Chains A and B, each alone.
Chain A
Amino acid sequence: MDALLADLRSALSDDRVRYDAAQRSLIAHDASVFDGGVSGPVCYPVDTSEVQAIMRIALTHGRAVVPRGAGTGLAGGAIPLGAPVVIAMTKMNAILDVDLDNRVAWVEPGVINLDLSRHLRPMGFHFAPDPSSQQVCTIGGNVANNSGGPHCLAYGVTDAHVVSLEIVLPSGEVGTLGTLGPDDHGLDLRGAFVGSEGTLGIATKVAVRLTKNPPAVRTLLLSFASVRDAANTVSDVIANGIVPAAMEVMDQKITIAVENFVGAGYPLDAAAVLLAEVEGLEGGADIDAERISDLGRANGATNVRQAESDEERALLWKGRKTAFGAIAQIKPDYYLHDTVVPRSALADVLETIYDIAKRHDLIVMNVFHAGDGNLHPLLLFDARIEGELERVHAAGADILRACLAVGGVLSGEHGIGVEKQGYMEELFSADDLDHQNRLRKAFDPACRANPGKVLPMGHSCADIQALRAVPTGVWG
């Protein structure tokens, strides 16, 4: 350990290589409830050459590396397993160049998602992916998770907005994937890299596409007497050929918690609310807003309200985007799921989820990207109460399987991380996983980048699993 630390410190500086117990304890966690992480030295590089140096030193010392952004992941993707070298990218947070001719911005991975859009606002552009954590999550984290967000319904998720990447491979080599043009010269390695959860290498510069800010935005809040009515409205909107910018549903419990925090005027008596937004030019936005309102009413909407000012609109979105955090008003812990089902199955699956929670005697809340069938059941619990965790765990497994059974997938935007790797074999065959593993090995033959994530045990980098058994005391 001393030799590793000495090498890292001579490559960076003493104060940017941390190994104190407090730091390691904090870095062993993200926003998920996973508690089994063990961090090695924590490095704060400031440029690509330092990331490269860290990679090479880690390789020399036989250590894995794990990148970290803001630590808002919900699947444990950034949690260090087996005391690897952690590379915290938060100091690489410069917006390097805004290139309006190519409509791209080159940024470092530590740039905060919302800071980028804020920077672009005077120029009339924004970065389209807008995860609920956008005020804190980083572009690097968005790349790692192929992040979505409410407005990805119309604009597509992160991989549609990342055109090129400078990466450092686990071997220490620096390369560029993707071009500013429509495709790569060769395989679309850029597309393979986005969403790989830090297992293929570390992005050190990212060229993101700029999206023009629309002149017209209409935000609708529809109230319903049942979750089913809200879900049916969502599938009707899509079936009628309307692709709104966003369609989000919250059930009553979460709406009340959110309203307590933001005071945006969310109705407290509705069983579900649908927040729908359409964007574009004035005329078309009005037409779409009217049609969505009509479809809502046809499905039994008890109230339809259109935000009348930017402030009102911002407040409604603030409520939606801070929903997860607001639940501590009810219980101190939550387990947030992330699955996708066909949109037409939404209403039935939601019913099943409420039944599952009831069976396990748990509170469940639903707040989700209804437009693309991306569910976020939120199970509430108190870890201090004996047995609650086990019930949460069991309910979570039931929910996942119910989603898979209707043709859904494991994750729509949070990723697999350590949370869902145990379920990968229920979605993919051994041959499928073997091919995913080949892709991983093409980038990282020695399994040095974020080992023990995504692919289930036995499929990739199994030797790394042994590292997990190392007790803290050996390193500390």
Chain B
Amino acid sequence: MIPGWLRRQRGPDAVGKTGVAGAGVPAGVDLKLDADDLNMCVQCGLCLPHCPTFRVTGDESMSPRGRIKLMREVQDEGAPVTQDVLRSFESCVQCRGCEPACPSGVPYGHLMEQARESLAEEHLITPRWQRLAFKPLSQPKVLQLGSSALALANKTGLVPRRLGLPDDLPVRQEPLRASGDDVYLFTGCVMDAWQREVHAAGKRVIEAAGFGVTPTNELAPCCGALQAHAGLAGETRALAERMMRTLSDDDRPILVDSAGCGAAMKDYGHLLGTAGAAAFSARVFDIQEWLAEHVDRLPSVAAPLDLRVAIQDPCHLRHVQRAHAGTRVVLRPFVREIVELDDDGLCCGAGGAYSVLEPELAGAIRERKVGVIDQVEPDVVASANPGCSMHLAGAGVATVHPMQLIDQALSQPQPQPVGA
């Protein structure tokens, strides 16, 4: 028998471990990860193909199994946090595609968020410029100002194409007005600035089903998802508490048409660990998810849109909220054909700010997704997340929000009944 077989050599002197701290490499960072969560991974590797960064690199250090192993070595064995360890963590898109694939139910997303929070506290990741960049998100006026400037820059060709910003970024626009108080429509930050027409479409569709809609506008300026991804959990918590204060007058549902925001808001219960936060999270619905329960209240259309629509499930809708079935239910009556992508919902590479921070990996991941889309030859790709839409549009893919398709189908002139 080989010595070492069946011997987990846990401890700093184990062979083959991440090595010793050299000059300038911090040792002994406490990642503050839950020991039981961390220990759940049995290293079976079933997550590997569901990880977009492993898919495009074939590199174990860019896989969930590899990242968890490195977390263990840092936390349990005091391995130093080298540049390569940081690279492993920072390259994660946080799409959480690995979670549904994991038979052991390892809470990878929470582990990665906690690891990043601990590393950000040590100022090992998320440099000052990034932290500053997240500031305007929670300040709608500043964001609108910046956005207008960006829109102008985009129109004059100062913004690189690969960022995929829409050509018609609004330079100036009016906020949406309330039509009733049945549901909230969360309008958020970047999306409200750049894709307000999606909110408008969603609002009209919900109204068409007979519900009055209150856009959250300045009541809830930002969900904190991007900050959480960057390890700035303190800011996320502050934003969550602020939103819960302003939206808790009654218990009406809060509909979200951005999958990333919806996932973050559904996670407030875990983030804040309070009963109030859990109750708030329970009121949050993806707009398609909620509408799927009320689809019979939408008017029927005589002619669905003559389109072959491929559904691209945003990771935070499919893997995190696990609520992607609703998109099909609500779209089906309004388009000619729905086609599925044959890639188990692999990430497109957008990942919130990921496509800006990791353009090379994000581009490679997107290339893969575009190949899968091309296979089914759709007229248009429906994506329930603005980040995915913009990222895919940057590669020339025609994208649209599901709500915009329904809105369009509903607003088409309907054929007049014969003899009317």
Residue of B nearest to A390 (CB): B6
Docked pose: A325 CA to B104 CA in angstroms: 6
B296 at the interface (CB under 8 A from A): no
CB neighbours (8 Å) of B59 from chain A are 23, 44, 88, 90
CB neighbours (8 Å) of A6 from chain B are none
Interface centre among B2, B4, B66 (most CB of A within 10 A): B2
CB neighbours (8 Å) of A114 from chain B are 49
Known: A90-B58, A91-B58. A323 touches B2 (CB 8 A): no
Q: Is B39 within 8 A of A332, CB to CB? A: yes
Q: Is B82 within 8 A of A22, CB to CB? A: yes
CB neighbours (8 Å) of A20 from chain B are 82, 84
A175 at the interface (CB under 8 A from B): no
Q: Is A26 within 8 A of B45, CB to CB? A: no
Interface centre among A22, A70, A323, A419 (most CB of B within 10 A): A22
Docked pose: A393 CA to B59 CA in angstroms: 32
CB neighbours (8 Å) of B105 from chain A are 261, 328-329
Least CB distance, A47 to chain B, in whole angstroms: 14
B40 at the interface (CB under 8 A from A): yes
A335 at the interface (CB under 8 A from B): yes
Interface residue stretch chosen among A34-42, A50-58, A197-205, A244-252: A34-42
Known: A76-B5, A333-B8. A70 touches B16 (CB 8 A): no
The listed residue (A37, A76, A325, A421) touching B46 by CB distance below 8 A is A325
Residue of A nearest to B103 (CB): A325
Q: Is A325 within 8 A of B44, CB to CB? A: yes
Q: Is B61 within 8 A of A136, CB to CB? A: no
**Chain B positions 1-47 with a Cβ under 8 Å from a chain A Cβ:** 1-10, 14-20, 39-46
Q: Is B44 within 8 A of A22, CB to CB? A: no
CB neighbours (8 Å) of B49 from chain A are 112, 114-115, 135-136
B73 at the interface (CB under 8 A from A): yes
Q: Is B8 within 8 A of A26, CB to CB? A: no
A98 at the interface (CB under 8 A from B): no
A389 at the interface (CB under 8 A from B): yes
Known: A25-B17, A25-B18, A44-B59. A328 touches B5 (CB 8 A): no
The listed residue (B19, B42, B84) touching A333 by CB distance below 8 A is B42
Docked pose: A70 CA to B70 CA in angstroms: 17
Chain A 336-357: CB-based contact to B (< 8 A → 1; otherwise 0): 0000000000000000000000
Least CB distance, B40 to chain A, in whole angstroms: 5
Least CB distance, B87 to chain A, in whole angstroms: 8
**Chain A positions 1-39 with a Cβ under 8 Å from a chain B Cβ:** 20-31, 33-39
CB neighbours (8 Å) of B377 from chain A are none
CB neighbours (8 Å) of B106 from chain A are 328
Least CB distance, B44 to chain A, in whole angstroms: 4
Indicate the size class of the contact surface on chain A: 35 or more
A373 at the interface (CB under 8 A from B): no
B85 at the interface (CB under 8 A from A): yes
Q: Is B3 within 8 A of A324, CB to CB? A: no
CB neighbours (8 Å) of A31 from chain B are 43-45
Known: A21-B84, A29-B69, A72-B45. A322 touches B58 (CB 8 A): no
Known: A322-B103, A328-B105, A389-B6. A36 touches B15 (CB 8 A): yes
B342 at the interface (CB under 8 A from A): yes
Residue of B nearest to A137 (CB): B45
CB neighbours (8 Å) of B6 from chain A are 33-34, 335, 389, 392-393, 396
Least CB distance, B224 to chain A, in whole angstroms: 30
Least CB distance, B71 to chain A, in whole angstroms: 11
Least CB distance, B89 to chain A, in whole angstroms: 10
CB neighbours (8 Å) of B84 from chain A are 20-23
Residue of A nearest to B60 (CB): A26
The listed residue (A70, A323, A326) touching B48 by CB distance below 8 A is A70
Least CB distance, A366 to chain B, in whole angstroms: 17
Known: A38-B15, A325-B46, A393-B6. A88 touches B40 (CB 8 A): no
Least CB distance, B8 to chain A, in whole angstroms: 4
Known: A22-B82, A29-B43. A71 touches B342 (CB 8 A): no
A149 at the interface (CB under 8 A from B): no
Q: Using a CB–CB distance below 8 Å, which chain B residues touch chain A? A: 1-10, 14-20, 39-46, 48-49, 58-61, 66, 69-70, 73, 79, 82, 84-85, 88, 101-106, 342
Closest 6 CB pairs of A and B: A36-B4, A90-B58, A328-B104, A21-B19, A325-B103, A28-B16
A-B contact pairs, 6 of them (CB 8 A): A20-B84, A29-B69, A39-B16, A328-B104, A384-B39, A476-B20
Please give 11 more A-B residue pairs, beta carbons under 8 A apart, in addition to A22-B84, A322-B46, A322-B103.
A22-B61, A28-B15, A30-B45, A33-B8, A34-B2, A44-B59, A325-B42, A326-B103, A332-B39, A335-B6, A383-B10
